Structures are given as C-alpha cells and as structure tokens.
Amino acid sequence: QQQVKQSPQSLIVQKGGISIINCAYENTAFDYFPWYQQFPGKGPALLIAIRPDVSEKKEGRFTISFNKSAKQFSLHIMDSQPGDSATYFCAAFDSNYQLIWGAGTKLIIKP
C-alpha cells in the first residue's frame, strides 16, 4: 500500500527556535507534496506545497525542502511562534489524483 511516513509524532520547540517535521514516501509517481496545518477545533488548511521539480520552496517562515533521490521532504518553521502550535500533516498526490496522508505531527511552541 502506498504510504507517507511522517515523523515525529509530536514536537516541542522553544519560541524562536526552528521546528522540523519530516516525511518519507515510497511511490516515485507522487508528483505534488502539500503540507496542511490544523488548529484545534478546526479542519486542516493548506499551508504550503511543492512539486518534485524544485528542491525548496519558501513562504515567509515556512520552507519545504525536497530530496527527490531520497524520497523525503520536510517542513521547516523558522522563528517558531506560539501561534504556530498546531497539528501538521504532510501528504502526497498520487497518479489516481488522491492524497496520501502522513499521520500528523502535533507541534507545541513553548513561550
């Protein structure tokens, strides 16, 4: 079965630090890799996404790094803030136009 493996399951980072969440996939046919952010009591919302023809995409404090040969991608949150505390999901878009989801990472930013 196609999978996207996400780690860590939970993460605590001090305010101002860098939060790093990693994902790995198996299927080389995946061609779109979004990250979703979910606040408590809310549905997930698209945060940032990348296609495999680029190695990095940055939007503000959020950066996706993509390593096609290793089949890994990661989310980096620079200068992490308490407002970034949320659950983060990575995902991959497969050839059947379906999203394959990671299990999620609960991020807590300590003030």
**Chain positions contacting another protein, by CB under 8 A:** 6, 9, 32, 34, 36, 41-46, 49, 89, 91, 93, 97-99, 101-104
Pick between residue 78 and residue 94 the one whose CB is nearest to another protein. 94
> Least distance (Å) from another protein to the CB of residue 79?
26
What string of DSSP letters covers the chain?
A: ---EEEE-SEEEEETTS-EEEEEEE--TT---EEEEEE-TTS--EEEEEE-TT-SEEEETTEEEEEETTTTEEEEEESS--GGG-EEEEEEEE-TTS-EEEP--EEEEEE-
Pick between residue 26 and residue 78 the one whose CB is nearest to another protein. 26
Pick between residue 31 and residue 79 the one whose CB is nearest to another protein. 31
